[in-house]
Structure 1
Amino acid sequence: MNPLLTTGLDAHRGSTALSVNLNKVALVRNTRHLGIPSVMRAAQLCLEAGAQGITVHPRPDERHIRAHDVHDLAELLKQWPQVEYNIEGNPFHNLMDFIRTVKPHQATFVPDDTAQATSDHGWTFPQDAARLKPLIDECKSLGVRVSLFMDPIPEQMAAVREVGADRVELYTETYARAHAAGDHAQVLAAFVATAQAALREGLGVNAGHDLNRANLTEFLAAVPGVQEVSIGHALIADALELGYTQTIQDYLRAIHRAAKTKA
């Protein structure tokens, strides 16, 4: 069994892990047939700079991450045994095929539609419970941790535990939008309450979507128990200006600043 299923990110000693979503690298690559920018090279540079995880979200239309990327990254990460591999997607589309063959450390179930430009909502309970449970059970039988993409609704956390998931990934776009507008205290409070509810239920807490260098520290300083943040769009945009190494180090510093406020 994958030890990360039960122990979490023990190597990070309780700090929040940074998982880099490489979808946007693949999106740019796919506009030409030259193989650049390289998803593999991006992963290598991010890991060398200190990222603790790699995330991909392969969609059925392969608009960005393609099937060979998922498998190529799995091979690369054999050289990085301390690094976590997180594959996101809708388990009722193409995600489960990858889970069965690759057996990543974590599967993040996201209820996106094939036509969506990006994820924009979480699962809803009890409506989604019956169809999710057998797929969650299958993942766990394969030694794969399951995280469910969820809106910040504390009352939903008990249902997540009941369906058998290990973690939630809090969908943070509402926080990011409110933070940019300078009026986010009430929105942030909902994330705090949801994380607290998740922790009471024995769930791990991840977070992602539109987190960036400007809003990450405040989010992590306020929201308890966040084990992993998955960041793609903003991080890759920063890397276009700063390079992968400086960008990863900036995000790790943002995480460290949050940890210091809690110390």
Structure 2
Amino acid sequence: MTKLSVNVNKIATIRNARGGDTPNVAQVAIDCERFGADGITIHPRPDERHITTQDVYDLKKIVATEFNIEGYPNDRFMNLIRETEPTQATLVPDGPDVLTSNAGWDTVKHKEKLTDICNQLREIGVRSSIFVDTNLENISGAKEVGVDRIELYTGPYADAYDIDKDKAVKDYVVAAKLANDLGLGINAGHDLSLENLAFFKTSVPGLEEVSIGHALISDALYFGLEQTIFKYKQLLK
């Protein structure tokens, strides 16, 4: 069964809109796990517009499943990883002015940097993952830098799903087959939803984990958090 990691960034966004501690990010993470989530994902951006530095340390104390921290691997990010030792660090190529992750790494161009970061993560004992698109050269490059997993950027899939779902998923199937052949684990994330998740899961071989935040939290406004997580988990069976 593919694991579901719930991204709680949007919970922090709601909290930050009013200040204070409502909703409480740590309590929501606990509840997500209680309702069946296999992991918790956060992306602590430098401007702290959602997840704050303090949230990272607070969540480290209470997350009992897999803890996944996403971010651009600058000094701040790597210090957080060293001090909290999450299950997984997912490296994204976002600059500080990017609204949301919207592209994968050029693993050939950034080979030296990514190799160094993956070596550091291995020394810490943290599983490494790199955000990539379906470009086969970048997936082969991911293998060369020594990463444990890739996370397929599924924004283009979600955009094209309603037009032609078979065409939308085609490149992901090819990319996943190459990753499997190379011995890379496969994660996926960005704009996966109740509408498009099941088809992606059944089409893409070797999918180990999906990270879902925006759609899942939006669905929870209608169905409630517990029922929403149940719905997503059912699609991943």
Q: Shared topology, TM-score over 0.5?
A: yes
1:228 partner amino acid: E
- Match in the other structure for 1:201: 182
Q: Give the corresponding residue for 1:214.
A: 195
| Counterpart in the other structure of 1:21 | 7
Q: Structure 1: how far apart are the matches of 2:167 and 2:132?
A: 18
Task: Give 3-state SS (helix, strand or coil) of 2:134's partner.
Answer: coil
Identity of aligned pairs, percent?
Answer: 46
Residue 126 of structure 1 is matched in structure 2 by 108
1:178 aligns with 2:160: yes
Q: Whole-Å Cα distance in 1 between the matches of residues 55 and 151 of structure 2?
A: 23
2:74 alignment partner, one of 80, 92, 97:
92
Equivalent residue letter for 1:137: N
What's the CA shift for 1:155? Answer: 2.8
Any runs of at least 4 consecutive aligned residues in structure 1 with deviations exceeding 2 A, and if so which? none
Letter of the 2:98 partner, please give it: Q
* 1:55-204 correspondence runs (5 A): 55-77=41-63, 80=64, 83-92=65-74, 94-179=76-161, 181-204=162-185
* Residues in 2 aligned to 1:66 and 1:39: alpha-carbon distance in whole angstroms: 10
1:149 deviation in Å? 0.1
Higher mean C-alpha displacement, 142-151 vs 39-48:
39-48
Q: Does 1:227 align with 2:202?
A: no
Given that 2:94 and 2:101 are in contact with CA atoms closer than 8 Å, whether structure 1 keeps it comes out as yes
- The Cα of 1:153 is off from its aligned counterpart by 1.5
TM-score by length of 1: 0.88
2:93 and 2:75 mapped to 1: Cα distance? 10
Q: Secondary structure at the match of 1:28?
A: helix
Measured against aligned partners, the alpha-carbon deviations of 1:116-152 in whole angstroms (never above 9, x if no partner) come to 1100100003101111111110011010010000001
* Counterpart-to-counterpart distance in 2, 1:149 and 1:159: 12
2:26 partner letter: M
SS at match of 1:85: strand
Count of residue correspondences: 237
Scaled by the length of structure 2, the TM-score of the pair is 0.98
Task: Give the aligned CA root-mean-square deviation in angstroms.
Answer: 1.0
Report how far residue 157 of structure 1 moved. 1.8
Deviations 1:19-61 (A, max 9, x none): 0000000011001122111111211111111000000000000
Task: State whether residues 19 and 54 of structure 1, in contact with CA within 8 Å, keep that contact through their aligned partners in structure 2.
Answer: yes
Distance 1:51 1:144 in 2: 20
Q: How far apart, in 2, do the equivalents of 1:66 and 1:151 lie?
A: 28
Paired position in structure 2 for 1:4: none
For the residue of structure 2 that corresponds to 1:55, the secondary structure is: strand
Are residues 233 and 93 of structure 1, via their aligned partners in 2, closer, same or farther at CA, if it must alter by over 3 Å?
farther
- Pick from 247, 254, 257 the counterpart of residue 228 of structure 2: 247
Distance 1:248 1:139 in 2: 30
Q: Secondary structure at the match of 1:251?
A: helix
Q: Which amino acid aligns with 1:53?
A: G
| Runs of 5+ consecutive residues of structure 1 not aligned to the other structure | 1-14, 257-263
* Aligned partners of 1:60 and 1:93 also within 8 Å: no
State the AA in 2 paired with 1:29. Answer: R
- Structure 2: which 5+ residue stretches go unaligned? none
Q: Distance in 2 between matches of 1:162 and 1:72?
A: 35
Match for residue 236 of structure 1 among 208, 214, 217 = 217
SS of the aligned residue for 2:47 comes to coil
Which deviates further from its counterpart, 125-134 or 170-179? 125-134
Structure 2 counterpart of 1:8: none
CA distance in 2, matches of 1:134, 1:34: 39
